[in-house]
Structure 1
Amino acid sequence: MVPDRVGQLARIAELIRDAGVAIRNVATFRSSVLDQYQIIIRVETEASRPLIDLLERHGYKVLHVLED
């Protein structure tokens, strides 16, 4: 969940880019929580744990991970 503020998606995309991970798809959904959005990001990476740790260190909570 992220706050509904300008630049949130860009900040997340920058973190993913800086980690050297390619973004494949993005979807956003308004949450039932006021002024919050859920963002679903599909990425291509061999190891998801370093990316999850990076996002969480920057204050983004990863709710679900699906690996092929």
Structure 2
Amino acid sequence: MPREKENNPLVIEIASLRERVARLEERTESLEGVIKYLKSRIEKLDGKVWAILSGVILSILIQIVIGVL
């Protein structure tokens, strides 16, 4: 009976699919880490972008006020 299982194409295909699923799970876990890292970097940049943008807007307003006076 064990010999029949080894030669059964369905058993071989199932084993192959299990290996593929395991590899995909590993890749997914590593991608989740990358996504978390990127999200944290974006969150850090978000504050900097707003600071730069508000600085630019403030300098434009100052230039307008100086030009008017």
State the TM-score bracket (shorter-chain normalisation): under 0.3
More helix by share: 2
- TM-score, normalization by structure 2: 0.21
- TM-score, normalization by structure 1: 0.21
More strand by share: 1
Q: Quick check: which has more Rg, 1 or 2?
A: 2
